[in-house]
Amino acid sequence: MRGRPNTFNDKEIILKAQEIFWRKGYNATSLSDLSKATGAGAGSLYNTFKGGKKELFKKSLQQRKEDLNNFKIKLANSDNPIKLIKDFFLSVAIASEESHFKGCIVANTIVEMSFIDKELENDAIEILKETEKLYTSTILLEQQKGNIKSTIPADNLGKFLITLWCGINSLRRIYPDKVILKQQIELQLQIIN
């Protein structure tokens, strides 16, 4: 005899779980938190995600990878991909105060998982490295077209943007102020003019 049928949408569960992980981090999120957020009981969660909380967290990180792939498509189809990159960074300044305190789930994971869970840390690192590659290839192409004046090598600028991203995610917690954040982000983005 089988138990109740699973009526939950996996992607919906992942997105709801991601929100909790994002706010609380992996270690502070309990199974009870996940059940409450997703509306799925512990049994349903474990039946759907055989690896338990860790598998659900990994799938939450993978969702960020999907968002990166969507951004990659936007950049490829844009007449001004550098403006898109700049607008992405500047959007942080106008985000809600709650977003400022949540920061970036990927950057948060790297910090939280250092010395605790190498697999989860490496999953998050890989996402930022893929983002860096995307920035680097976009910048290189725009340099070759003459749309960026900077002669700093594209791979250095790609790493710079990842450094900026990680820095912003601390700065936005220190100064959750739209004016300060906008000023600081614009100042940093001058390097890719």
Instruction: Read off the pTM.
Output: 0.90
Give percent above pLDDT 90 in the chain. Answer: 86
User: Is 151 within the bounds of a domain?
Assistant: yes
Residues 107 and 147 in one domain: yes
Residues 51 and 111 in one domain: no
User: What is the domain extent for residue 41?
Assistant: 1-60
- pLDDT confidence tier of residue 41, bands split at 50, 70 and 90: confident
Residues 113 and 177 in one domain: yes
Residue with tokens 């936007």: 74
User: Is 32 within the bounds of a domain?
Assistant: yes
**How does 105-117 read in b/e, with b if 16+ C-beta sit within 10 Å?**
bbbbbbebbeeeb
Residues 48 and 94 in one domain: no
Residues 41 and 93 in one domain: no
User: Is 65 within the bounds of a domain?
Assistant: no
DSSP reduced 3-state for 25: coil
Residues 96 and 183 in one domain: yes
Helix axes 154-174, 178-189, angle to 10 degrees: 170
**Number of domains composing the chain:** 2
The predicted structure's pLDDT at residue 3: 43
- pLDDT confidence tier of residue 75, bands split at 50, 70 and 90: very high
